[in-house]
Structure 1
Protein backbone atom coordinates (compact mmCIF):
# COMPACT_ATOMS: atom_id res chain seq x y z
CA UNK A 1 0.00 0.00 0.00
CA UNK A 2 1.31 3.42 -0.98
CA UNK A 3 2.05 5.67 2.02
CA UNK A 4 0.89 9.20 1.30
CA UNK A 5 2.98 12.37 1.60
CA UNK A 6 0.83 13.55 4.49
CA UNK A 7 1.00 10.25 6.42
CA UNK A 8 4.80 10.11 6.24
CA UNK A 9 6.28 13.56 5.73
CA UNK A 10 9.85 13.86 4.44
CA UNK A 11 12.05 16.94 4.40
CA UNK A 12 13.22 18.37 1.04
CA UNK A 13 16.51 16.49 1.44
CA UNK A 14 14.66 13.18 1.90
CA UNK A 15 15.18 12.85 5.66
CA UNK A 16 12.31 11.97 7.96
CA UNK A 17 10.34 15.05 9.05
CA UNK A 18 10.94 15.62 12.79
CA UNK A 19 14.11 13.64 13.48
CA UNK A 20 15.89 14.91 10.34
CA UNK A 21 17.49 11.46 9.89
CA UNK A 22 18.20 9.09 7.01
CA UNK A 23 17.93 5.29 7.28
CA UNK A 24 21.70 4.87 7.42
CA UNK A 25 21.94 7.28 10.37
CA UNK A 26 20.64 4.89 13.02
CA UNK A 27 21.86 1.64 14.57
CA UNK A 28 19.82 -1.43 15.49
CA UNK A 29 20.34 -0.56 19.18
CA UNK A 30 18.72 2.71 20.26
CA UNK A 31 19.00 4.42 23.64
CA UNK A 32 16.33 7.05 24.29
CA UNK A 33 16.66 9.85 26.83
CA UNK A 34 14.24 12.64 27.59
CA UNK A 35 16.74 15.44 28.14
CA UNK A 36 18.60 16.51 24.98
CA UNK A 37 21.69 17.34 27.07
CA UNK A 38 21.81 13.71 28.23
CA UNK A 39 22.58 12.55 24.69
CA UNK A 40 26.14 13.75 25.06
CA UNK A 41 26.36 12.19 28.51
CA UNK A 42 25.80 8.84 26.80
CA UNK A 43 27.85 9.34 23.63
CA UNK A 44 30.92 10.54 25.56
CA UNK A 45 31.52 6.84 26.28
CA UNK A 46 31.51 5.92 22.58
CA UNK A 47 34.87 4.97 21.09
CA UNK A 48 33.81 6.73 17.90
CA UNK A 49 30.98 9.14 17.06
CA UNK A 50 30.05 9.03 13.38
CA UNK A 51 26.98 11.27 13.39
CA UNK A 52 25.54 14.20 15.32
CA UNK A 53 22.24 15.73 14.25
CA UNK A 54 19.59 17.83 15.91
CA UNK A 55 16.21 19.31 15.09
CA UNK A 56 13.86 20.83 17.67
CA UNK A 57 14.17 18.77 20.86
CA UNK A 58 15.40 15.71 18.96
CA UNK A 59 19.18 15.30 19.23
CA UNK A 60 20.76 12.16 17.75
CA UNK A 61 24.29 10.78 18.13
CA UNK A 62 25.31 7.52 16.47
CA UNK A 63 28.62 5.85 17.18
CA UNK A 64 30.20 2.68 18.45
CA UNK A 65 31.82 1.02 21.43
CA UNK A 66 34.14 -1.63 20.03
CA UNK A 67 32.14 -3.37 17.32
CA UNK A 68 28.77 -2.41 18.83
CA UNK A 69 27.00 0.38 16.92
CA UNK A 70 24.61 2.43 19.08
CA UNK A 71 22.31 5.39 18.50
CA UNK A 72 21.24 7.67 21.35
CA UNK A 73 18.36 10.06 20.75
CA UNK A 74 16.50 12.58 22.90
CA UNK A 75 12.73 12.32 22.83
CA UNK A 76 11.78 15.34 24.87
CA UNK A 77 9.08 14.92 27.51
CA UNK A 78 5.87 12.92 27.21
CA UNK A 79 4.21 10.23 25.13
CA UNK A 80 3.20 12.70 22.41
CA UNK A 81 6.89 12.89 21.55
CA UNK A 82 7.24 9.12 21.91
CA UNK A 83 4.58 8.79 19.19
CA UNK A 84 6.72 10.95 16.87
CA UNK A 85 10.07 9.33 17.66
CA UNK A 86 8.90 5.72 17.45
CA UNK A 87 6.92 6.14 14.23
CA UNK A 88 9.83 7.90 12.55
CA UNK A 89 12.45 5.42 13.82
CA UNK A 90 10.28 2.60 12.53
CA UNK A 91 9.82 4.33 9.17
CA UNK A 92 13.59 4.71 8.84
CA UNK A 93 14.10 0.94 8.99
CA UNK A 94 10.84 -0.47 7.60
CA UNK A 95 9.69 1.91 4.85
CA UNK A 96 11.21 2.39 1.40
CA UNK A 97 11.28 6.19 1.18
CA UNK A 98 11.71 6.21 -2.62
CA UNK A 99 8.74 3.94 -3.35
CA UNK A 100 6.74 4.96 -0.25
CA UNK A 101 5.86 1.37 0.58
CA UNK A 102 6.55 -0.93 3.52
CA UNK A 103 9.65 -3.07 3.08
CA UNK A 104 9.09 -6.82 2.64
CA UNK A 105 11.62 -7.74 5.34
CA UNK A 106 10.92 -6.22 8.75
CA UNK A 107 13.84 -4.86 10.79
CA UNK A 108 13.44 -4.93 14.57
CA UNK A 109 15.20 -2.41 16.83
CA UNK A 110 16.30 -2.82 20.45
CA UNK A 111 15.19 0.34 22.27
CA UNK A 112 16.28 1.12 25.82
CA UNK A 113 14.96 4.10 27.74
CA UNK A 114 17.27 5.63 30.35
CA UNK A 115 15.12 8.07 32.27
CA UNK A 116 14.30 9.58 35.64
CA UNK A 117 11.38 8.74 37.89
CA UNK A 118 9.82 9.09 41.33
CA UNK A 119 9.21 6.15 43.66
CA UNK A 120 5.82 5.37 45.19
CA UNK A 121 6.94 2.81 47.78
CA UNK A 122 8.67 3.68 51.08
CA UNK A 123 11.19 0.83 50.72
CA UNK A 124 12.46 2.06 47.32
CA UNK A 125 15.04 4.72 48.16
CA UNK A 126 16.16 7.64 46.05
CA UNK A 127 19.30 7.20 43.95
CA UNK A 128 18.56 3.59 42.97
CA UNK A 129 17.88 1.98 39.58
CA UNK A 130 14.61 0.27 38.73
CA UNK A 131 13.72 -1.90 35.74
CA UNK A 132 10.12 -1.61 34.56
CA UNK A 133 8.38 -4.97 34.20
CA UNK A 134 5.07 -3.45 33.06
CA UNK A 135 4.25 0.07 31.93
CA UNK A 136 0.83 1.40 32.90
CA UNK A 137 -0.28 4.35 30.77
CA UNK A 138 -2.67 7.00 32.07
CA UNK A 139 -2.14 9.09 28.96
CA UNK A 140 -4.23 8.42 25.81
CA UNK A 141 -1.55 7.54 23.23
CA UNK A 142 -2.33 3.85 22.74
CA UNK A 143 -6.06 4.52 22.31
CA UNK A 144 -5.25 5.46 18.72
CA UNK A 145 -3.56 2.15 17.74
CA UNK A 146 -4.83 -1.36 17.15
CA UNK A 147 -3.19 -3.94 19.42
CA UNK A 148 -3.82 -7.11 21.40
CA UNK A 149 -2.77 -7.51 25.03
CA UNK A 150 -1.34 -10.69 26.50
CA UNK A 151 -3.46 -12.54 29.07
CA UNK A 152 -1.30 -11.19 31.90
CA UNK A 153 -1.59 -7.63 30.63
CA UNK A 154 -5.37 -8.01 30.41
CA UNK A 155 -5.56 -9.39 33.96
CA UNK A 156 -3.52 -6.48 35.32
CA UNK A 157 -5.72 -4.06 33.39
CA UNK A 158 -8.89 -5.61 34.86
CA UNK A 159 -7.47 -5.34 38.39
CA UNK A 160 -6.52 -1.69 37.81
CA UNK A 161 -9.99 -0.85 36.49
CA UNK A 162 -11.56 -2.36 39.61
CA UNK A 163 -9.44 -0.29 41.98
CA UNK A 164 -8.95 3.03 40.17
CA UNK A 165 -11.20 5.63 38.62
CA UNK A 166 -8.84 5.91 35.61
CA UNK A 167 -8.79 3.59 32.61
CA UNK A 168 -5.14 2.92 31.67
CA UNK A 169 -3.37 0.66 29.18
CA UNK A 170 -0.73 -1.94 30.06
CA UNK A 171 2.33 -3.29 28.20
CA UNK A 172 5.23 -5.46 29.33
CA UNK A 173 8.96 -4.96 28.83
CA UNK A 174 10.79 -7.17 26.35
CA UNK A 175 12.03 -10.32 28.10
CA UNK A 176 15.28 -10.55 26.11
CA UNK A 177 16.32 -7.02 27.06
CA UNK A 178 15.24 -7.69 30.65
CA UNK A 179 17.52 -10.72 30.93
CA UNK A 180 20.42 -8.73 29.48
CA UNK A 181 20.06 -5.48 31.42
CA UNK A 182 18.10 -5.88 34.68
CA UNK A 183 20.46 -7.89 36.90
CA UNK A 184 20.83 -6.29 40.33
CA UNK A 185 18.14 -3.68 39.69
CA UNK A 186 14.89 -3.30 41.56
CA UNK A 187 11.86 -4.27 39.49
CA UNK A 188 8.31 -3.03 39.41
CA UNK A 189 5.36 -1.65 37.48
CA UNK A 190 5.75 1.91 36.22
CA UNK A 191 2.92 4.40 35.77
CA UNK A 192 3.20 6.84 32.86
CA UNK A 193 1.29 10.10 33.27
CA UNK A 194 0.18 12.74 30.78
CA UNK A 195 1.80 15.61 32.69
CA UNK A 196 4.27 16.41 35.46
CA UNK A 197 2.15 18.29 37.98
CA UNK A 198 -1.52 17.45 38.63
CA UNK A 199 -1.43 14.27 36.48
CA UNK A 200 1.29 12.99 38.84
CA UNK A 201 -0.57 14.04 41.99
CA UNK A 202 1.29 17.31 42.55
CA UNK A 203 -0.40 20.47 43.80
CA UNK A 204 1.07 23.99 43.73
CA UNK A 205 -1.82 26.49 43.68
CA UNK A 206 -4.81 24.79 42.05
CA UNK A 207 -6.45 21.90 43.95
CA UNK A 208 -6.02 18.45 42.40
CA UNK A 209 -9.24 16.74 41.26
CA UNK A 210 -7.78 13.36 42.28
CA UNK A 211 -6.06 13.99 45.64
CA UNK A 212 -5.88 10.28 46.47
CA UNK A 213 -4.24 9.26 43.17
CA UNK A 214 -0.77 8.58 44.63
CA UNK A 215 -2.22 6.62 47.55
CA UNK A 216 -4.30 4.40 45.26
CA UNK A 217 -1.30 3.66 43.06
CA UNK A 218 0.86 2.90 46.08
CA UNK A 219 -1.71 0.42 47.41
CA UNK A 220 -2.23 -1.51 44.15
CA UNK A 221 -0.79 -5.04 43.89
CA UNK A 222 -1.01 -7.84 41.34
CA UNK A 223 0.30 -11.33 42.17
CA UNK A 224 2.77 -9.80 44.60
CA UNK A 225 3.93 -7.10 42.16
CA UNK A 226 3.48 -3.43 43.02
CA UNK A 227 3.31 -0.13 41.24
CA UNK A 228 6.71 1.23 42.14
CA UNK A 229 7.21 4.52 40.32
CA UNK A 230 5.76 7.05 37.92
CA UNK A 231 7.05 9.20 35.06
CA UNK A 232 5.97 10.34 31.56
CA UNK A 233 7.24 8.05 28.76
CA UNK A 234 7.67 4.37 29.68
CA UNK A 235 4.23 2.90 28.93
CA UNK A 236 4.14 4.68 25.57
CA UNK A 237 7.59 3.32 24.72
CA UNK A 238 6.59 -0.26 25.57
CA UNK A 239 3.29 0.09 23.74
CA UNK A 240 4.67 1.66 20.56
CA UNK A 241 7.47 -0.91 20.43
CA UNK A 242 4.93 -3.72 20.60
CA UNK A 243 2.60 -2.43 17.88
CA UNK A 244 5.54 -1.66 15.57
CA UNK A 245 7.36 -4.95 16.18
CA UNK A 246 10.39 -3.71 18.12
CA UNK A 247 11.87 -4.66 21.52
CA UNK A 248 11.88 -2.11 24.32
CA UNK A 249 12.56 -1.66 28.01
CA UNK A 250 12.88 1.15 30.52
CA UNK A 251 15.61 1.79 33.10
CA UNK A 252 14.50 4.27 35.77
CA UNK A 253 16.82 6.38 37.87
CA UNK A 254 14.80 7.09 41.02
CA UNK A 255 15.26 10.76 41.90
CA UNK A 256 12.20 11.45 44.06
CA UNK A 257 10.54 9.73 47.01
CA UNK A 258 6.96 10.85 46.49
CA UNK A 259 5.52 9.63 49.81
CA UNK A 260 8.30 11.32 51.80
CA UNK A 261 8.17 14.37 49.49
CA UNK A 262 11.97 14.38 49.05
CA UNK A 263 14.19 14.82 45.99
CA UNK A 264 17.71 13.56 45.31
CA UNK A 265 20.61 15.82 46.33
CA UNK A 266 22.80 14.42 43.53
CA UNK A 267 20.55 13.38 40.62
CA UNK A 268 23.32 13.38 38.01
CA UNK A 269 25.23 10.63 39.83
CA UNK A 270 22.48 7.99 39.60
CA UNK A 271 21.75 8.91 35.97
CA UNK A 272 25.46 8.50 35.21
CA UNK A 273 25.41 5.12 36.93
CA UNK A 274 22.47 4.03 34.77
CA UNK A 275 24.19 5.13 31.55
CA UNK A 276 27.44 3.33 32.34
CA UNK A 277 25.67 0.15 33.45
CA UNK A 278 23.47 -0.04 30.33
CA UNK A 279 26.43 0.58 27.99
CA UNK A 280 28.56 -2.03 29.77
CA UNK A 281 25.83 -4.65 29.48
CA UNK A 282 24.98 -3.82 25.88
CA UNK A 283 28.61 -4.21 24.83
CA UNK A 284 29.53 -7.19 27.06
Structure 2
Protein backbone atom coordinates (compact mmCIF):
# COMPACT_ATOMS: atom_id res chain seq x y z
CA UNK A 1 0.00 0.00 0.00
CA UNK A 2 1.32 3.42 -0.95
CA UNK A 3 2.06 5.91 1.82
CA UNK A 4 0.33 9.23 1.01
CA UNK A 5 2.33 12.32 0.06
CA UNK A 6 1.07 14.11 3.17
CA UNK A 7 2.63 11.44 5.43
CA UNK A 8 5.87 10.65 3.61
CA UNK A 9 7.05 14.05 2.40
CA UNK A 10 9.83 14.21 -0.17
CA UNK A 11 11.77 17.10 -1.68
CA UNK A 12 11.78 17.84 -5.41
CA UNK A 13 14.97 15.80 -5.88
CA UNK A 14 13.39 12.76 -4.19
CA UNK A 15 15.28 13.22 -0.91
CA UNK A 16 13.59 12.80 2.46
CA UNK A 17 11.95 16.00 3.69
CA UNK A 18 13.94 17.26 6.71
CA UNK A 19 17.26 15.45 6.35
CA UNK A 20 17.41 16.20 2.61
CA UNK A 21 19.36 13.01 1.81
CA UNK A 22 18.77 10.09 -0.56
CA UNK A 23 18.79 6.39 0.38
CA UNK A 24 22.15 5.79 -1.33
CA UNK A 25 23.71 8.51 0.83
CA UNK A 26 23.03 6.63 4.08
CA UNK A 27 25.40 4.06 5.59
CA UNK A 28 24.19 1.15 7.72
CA UNK A 29 26.24 2.48 10.67
CA UNK A 30 25.09 5.90 11.86
CA UNK A 31 26.63 8.17 14.49
CA UNK A 32 24.31 10.85 15.87
CA UNK A 33 25.43 14.05 17.57
CA UNK A 34 23.42 16.98 18.86
CA UNK A 35 25.63 19.81 17.63
CA UNK A 36 25.88 20.28 13.83
CA UNK A 37 29.49 21.46 14.22
CA UNK A 38 30.43 18.17 15.88
CA UNK A 39 29.82 16.27 12.63
CA UNK A 40 33.13 17.47 11.18
CA UNK A 41 34.87 16.81 14.50
CA UNK A 42 34.13 13.16 13.70
CA UNK A 43 34.55 13.03 9.92
CA UNK A 44 37.93 14.79 10.07
CA UNK A 45 39.19 11.34 11.15
CA UNK A 46 37.69 9.63 8.06
CA UNK A 47 39.72 8.42 5.08
CA UNK A 48 37.22 10.09 2.77
CA UNK A 49 33.89 11.94 2.90
CA UNK A 50 31.59 11.37 -0.09
CA UNK A 51 28.37 13.06 1.08
CA UNK A 52 27.89 16.48 2.71
CA UNK A 53 24.33 17.74 3.14
CA UNK A 54 23.10 20.46 5.47
CA UNK A 55 19.51 21.57 6.10
CA UNK A 56 18.30 23.35 9.22
CA UNK A 57 19.98 21.74 12.23
CA UNK A 58 20.44 18.47 10.36
CA UNK A 59 24.02 18.19 9.08
CA UNK A 60 24.85 14.85 7.42
CA UNK A 61 28.17 13.49 6.19
CA UNK A 62 28.84 9.98 4.92
CA UNK A 63 32.27 8.57 4.28
CA UNK A 64 34.74 5.82 4.98
CA UNK A 65 36.72 5.34 8.22
CA UNK A 66 39.28 2.53 8.25
CA UNK A 67 37.42 0.98 5.32
CA UNK A 68 33.98 1.11 6.98
CA UNK A 69 31.15 3.30 5.63
CA UNK A 70 29.65 5.50 8.36
CA UNK A 71 27.07 8.28 8.31
CA UNK A 72 27.36 11.06 10.87
CA UNK A 73 24.27 13.19 11.42
CA UNK A 74 23.36 16.00 13.81
CA UNK A 75 19.93 15.75 15.37
CA UNK A 76 19.80 19.06 17.15
CA UNK A 77 18.65 19.08 20.76
CA UNK A 78 15.73 17.13 22.20
CA UNK A 79 13.54 14.10 21.57
CA UNK A 80 11.20 16.05 19.26
CA UNK A 81 14.08 16.13 16.78
CA UNK A 82 14.84 12.45 17.48
CA UNK A 83 11.30 11.67 16.28
CA UNK A 84 12.05 13.40 12.96
CA UNK A 85 15.54 12.00 12.45
CA UNK A 86 14.75 8.38 13.32
CA UNK A 87 11.57 8.20 11.26
CA UNK A 88 13.40 9.64 8.26
CA UNK A 89 16.46 7.41 8.71
CA UNK A 90 14.11 4.41 8.82
CA UNK A 91 12.25 5.63 5.74
CA UNK A 92 15.53 5.88 3.85
CA UNK A 93 16.42 2.32 4.86
CA UNK A 94 13.06 0.56 4.72
CA UNK A 95 10.68 2.41 2.41
CA UNK A 96 11.01 2.54 -1.37
CA UNK A 97 10.77 6.31 -1.84
CA UNK A 98 9.87 5.94 -5.53
CA UNK A 99 6.88 3.62 -5.02
CA UNK A 100 6.11 4.86 -1.48
CA UNK A 101 5.79 1.25 -0.32
CA UNK A 102 7.42 -0.44 2.66
CA UNK A 103 10.14 -2.86 1.58
CA UNK A 104 9.58 -6.55 2.17
CA UNK A 105 13.16 -7.01 3.38
CA UNK A 106 14.10 -4.67 6.24
CA UNK A 107 17.50 -3.15 7.04
CA UNK A 108 18.53 -2.72 10.67
CA UNK A 109 20.76 0.30 11.25
CA UNK A 110 23.41 0.50 13.97
CA UNK A 111 22.96 3.92 15.59
CA UNK A 112 25.43 5.31 18.11
CA UNK A 113 24.84 8.57 19.94
CA UNK A 114 28.06 10.42 20.81
CA UNK A 115 26.87 13.13 23.16
CA UNK A 116 27.45 15.10 26.34
CA UNK A 117 25.76 14.74 29.68
CA UNK A 118 25.80 15.75 33.33
CA UNK A 119 26.23 13.23 36.14
CA UNK A 120 23.85 13.40 39.10
CA UNK A 121 25.85 11.12 41.44
CA UNK A 122 28.93 12.40 43.29
CA UNK A 123 31.09 9.39 42.45
CA UNK A 124 30.96 9.81 38.65
CA UNK A 125 34.10 11.70 37.57
CA UNK A 126 34.15 14.71 35.28
CA UNK A 127 35.59 13.83 31.81
CA UNK A 128 34.63 10.15 32.14
CA UNK A 129 32.68 8.15 29.52
CA UNK A 130 29.33 6.58 30.36
CA UNK A 131 27.26 4.13 28.32
CA UNK A 132 23.51 4.19 28.91
CA UNK A 133 22.19 0.68 29.57
CA UNK A 134 18.71 2.13 30.13
CA UNK A 135 17.12 5.37 29.00
CA UNK A 136 14.35 7.02 31.06
CA UNK A 137 12.16 9.39 29.06
CA UNK A 138 10.42 12.18 30.95
CA UNK A 139 9.10 13.55 27.64
CA UNK A 140 5.93 12.22 25.98
CA UNK A 141 7.40 10.99 22.67
CA UNK A 142 7.03 7.23 23.08
CA UNK A 143 3.53 7.55 24.55
CA UNK A 144 2.30 8.61 21.10
CA UNK A 145 3.41 5.26 19.63
CA UNK A 146 2.19 1.71 20.21
CA UNK A 147 5.21 0.99 22.35
CA UNK A 148 4.28 -0.56 25.69
CA UNK A 149 5.82 -3.87 24.62
CA UNK A 150 9.22 -2.11 24.49
CA UNK A 151 8.99 -0.44 27.85
CA UNK A 152 9.96 -1.60 31.34
CA UNK A 153 6.51 -0.83 32.75
CA UNK A 154 7.16 -2.06 36.30
CA UNK A 155 10.29 0.10 36.57
CA UNK A 156 8.33 3.07 35.25
CA UNK A 157 5.58 2.58 37.82
CA UNK A 158 8.13 2.33 40.62
CA UNK A 159 9.99 5.44 39.48
CA UNK A 160 6.76 7.44 39.16
CA UNK A 161 5.98 6.63 42.79
CA UNK A 162 9.50 7.40 44.02
CA UNK A 163 9.56 10.78 42.27
CA UNK A 164 6.00 11.60 43.39
CA UNK A 165 5.19 12.77 39.88
CA UNK A 166 1.99 14.77 39.59
CA UNK A 167 -0.66 14.25 36.90
CA UNK A 168 0.63 17.43 35.23
CA UNK A 169 3.85 15.65 34.25
CA UNK A 170 4.37 12.78 31.83
CA UNK A 171 4.95 9.38 33.40
CA UNK A 172 8.40 8.15 32.39
CA UNK A 173 9.02 5.47 29.77
CA UNK A 174 12.06 3.24 30.19
CA UNK A 175 13.79 1.45 27.29
CA UNK A 176 16.99 -0.62 27.01
CA UNK A 177 20.02 -0.16 24.81
CA UNK A 178 20.59 -2.84 22.19
CA UNK A 179 22.58 -5.60 23.95
CA UNK A 180 24.67 -6.63 20.92
CA UNK A 181 25.70 -3.10 20.02
CA UNK A 182 26.38 -2.44 23.69
CA UNK A 183 28.74 -5.41 23.70
CA UNK A 184 30.55 -4.10 20.60
CA UNK A 185 31.24 -0.71 22.17
CA UNK A 186 31.83 -1.79 25.76
CA UNK A 187 35.17 -1.75 27.59
CA UNK A 188 36.60 -0.99 31.02
CA UNK A 189 36.79 2.68 29.94
CA UNK A 190 33.01 2.98 30.10
CA UNK A 191 30.89 3.48 33.20
CA UNK A 192 27.60 1.60 32.83
CA UNK A 193 24.68 3.79 33.74
CA UNK A 194 20.99 4.60 33.67
CA UNK A 195 20.34 7.84 31.82
CA UNK A 196 17.42 10.21 32.38
CA UNK A 197 16.22 12.19 29.36
CA UNK A 198 14.19 15.31 29.97
CA UNK A 199 12.48 17.89 27.76
CA UNK A 200 14.62 20.93 28.52
CA UNK A 201 17.96 22.16 29.80
CA UNK A 202 16.84 24.47 32.60
CA UNK A 203 13.84 23.69 34.85
CA UNK A 204 13.45 20.10 33.52
CA UNK A 205 17.03 19.50 34.68
CA UNK A 206 16.59 21.40 37.94
CA UNK A 207 18.41 24.59 36.86
CA UNK A 208 17.12 27.91 38.13
CA UNK A 209 17.95 31.29 36.58
CA UNK A 210 14.90 33.57 36.99
CA UNK A 211 11.95 31.18 36.58
CA UNK A 212 11.14 29.01 39.59
CA UNK A 213 10.65 25.24 39.70
CA UNK A 214 7.35 23.43 40.21
CA UNK A 215 9.18 20.80 42.31
CA UNK A 216 12.33 22.10 43.99
CA UNK A 217 13.14 18.57 45.21
CA UNK A 218 12.98 16.84 41.80
CA UNK A 219 16.76 16.53 41.32
CA UNK A 220 17.27 15.16 44.83
CA UNK A 221 14.47 12.64 44.30
CA UNK A 222 16.04 11.60 40.98
CA UNK A 223 19.42 11.20 42.66
CA UNK A 224 17.90 9.08 45.44
CA UNK A 225 15.67 6.93 43.21
CA UNK A 226 16.51 3.29 42.56
CA UNK A 227 15.59 0.98 39.67
CA UNK A 228 16.07 -2.59 40.89
CA UNK A 229 18.58 -1.20 43.43
CA UNK A 230 20.52 0.71 40.72
CA UNK A 231 21.07 4.47 40.79
CA UNK A 232 20.15 6.85 37.98
CA UNK A 233 23.52 8.17 36.86
CA UNK A 234 23.12 11.11 34.48
CA UNK A 235 20.76 13.49 32.75
CA UNK A 236 20.54 14.71 29.14
CA UNK A 237 17.98 15.29 26.36
CA UNK A 238 18.00 12.54 23.67
CA UNK A 239 18.93 9.04 24.85
CA UNK A 240 15.51 7.65 25.85
CA UNK A 241 13.95 8.89 22.61
CA UNK A 242 16.76 7.27 20.63
CA UNK A 243 16.29 3.94 22.41
CA UNK A 244 12.53 4.06 22.04
CA UNK A 245 12.44 4.96 18.34
CA UNK A 246 15.26 2.56 17.43
CA UNK A 247 13.56 -0.36 19.21
CA UNK A 248 10.19 0.52 17.70
CA UNK A 249 11.59 0.55 14.16
CA UNK A 250 13.85 -2.50 14.46
CA UNK A 251 17.22 -0.72 14.67
CA UNK A 252 20.06 -1.10 17.19
CA UNK A 253 21.05 1.88 19.32
CA UNK A 254 23.51 2.78 22.06
CA UNK A 255 24.18 6.15 23.71
CA UNK A 256 27.71 7.12 24.74
CA UNK A 257 28.03 10.11 27.05
CA UNK A 258 30.97 12.39 27.72
CA UNK A 259 30.40 13.50 31.30
CA UNK A 260 31.14 17.23 31.22
CA UNK A 261 29.33 18.24 34.41
CA UNK A 262 28.72 16.76 37.83
CA UNK A 263 25.49 18.33 39.08
CA UNK A 264 25.84 16.82 42.56
CA UNK A 265 29.27 18.43 43.03
CA UNK A 266 28.61 21.61 41.04
CA UNK A 267 31.59 20.94 38.76
CA UNK A 268 32.12 21.44 35.03
CA UNK A 269 34.93 20.13 32.83
CA UNK A 270 37.98 22.35 32.33
CA UNK A 271 38.61 20.73 28.92
CA UNK A 272 35.21 19.75 27.46
CA UNK A 273 36.36 19.70 23.82
CA UNK A 274 39.24 17.33 24.62
CA UNK A 275 36.85 15.02 26.46
CA UNK A 276 34.41 14.90 23.54
CA UNK A 277 37.29 14.40 21.06
CA UNK A 278 38.55 11.46 23.13
CA UNK A 279 35.06 9.90 23.12
CA UNK A 280 34.90 10.33 19.33
CA UNK A 281 38.24 8.53 18.90
CA UNK A 282 37.11 5.76 21.27
CA UNK A 283 33.88 5.28 19.30
CA UNK A 284 35.58 5.16 15.89
CA UNK A 285 38.17 2.70 17.19
CA UNK A 286 35.45 0.37 18.51
CA UNK A 287 33.36 0.61 15.33
CA UNK A 288 36.15 0.06 12.83
CA UNK A 289 38.58 -2.40 14.45
* Same structural fold, with TM-score higher than 0.5 when normalized by the shorter chain: yes
For 1:38-117, list aligned pairs within 5 A.
Answer: 38-117=38-117
Q: Matches of 2:137 and 2:219 in 1, distance apart?
A: 14
Q: Give the match for residue 18 of structure 1.
A: 18
Aligned length: 283
Q: Deviations over 1:255-279 (max 9, x none)?
A: 1110122211110111011100010
Out of 226, 233, 245, the position equivalent to 1:228 is: 233
Unaligned runs of 5+ in 1: none
Length-normalised TM-score, structure 2: 0.96
After superposition, give the CA deviation of every residue in 1:63-111 in whole Å (9 maximum; x if it has no partner).
Answer: 0123211000000000010000000000001001111110000110000
What is the aligned partner in structure 1 of residue 160 from structure 2? 161
Q: How do residues 243-282 of structure 1 correspond to structure 2 at under 5 angstroms?
A: 243-282=248-287
Deviation (angstroms), 1:150 = 5.3
Match of 1:119 in 2: 119
Give yes or no for contact 2:31–2:112 (8 Å, CA) kept in 1: yes
Aligned mates of 2:229, 2:164 — CA distance in 1: 22
Of 138-147 and 155-164, deviating more is 155-164
- Secondary structure at the aligned position of 2:149 is classed as coil
In the alignment, is the contact (CA less than 8 A) between 2:163 and 2:225 conserved in 1? no
- Long gaps (5+) in structure 2: 166-170
Partner of 2:246: 241
74-83 or 177-186: bigger deviation: 177-186
CA distance in 1, matches of 2:232, 2:191: 12
**What secondary structure, in the 3-state scheme, does the structure 1 residue paired with 2:86 have?**
helix
1:201 shift after superposition: 0.5
Q: After the TM superposition, which parts of structure 1 deviate over 2 Å for at least 4 consecutive aligned residues?
A: 148-151
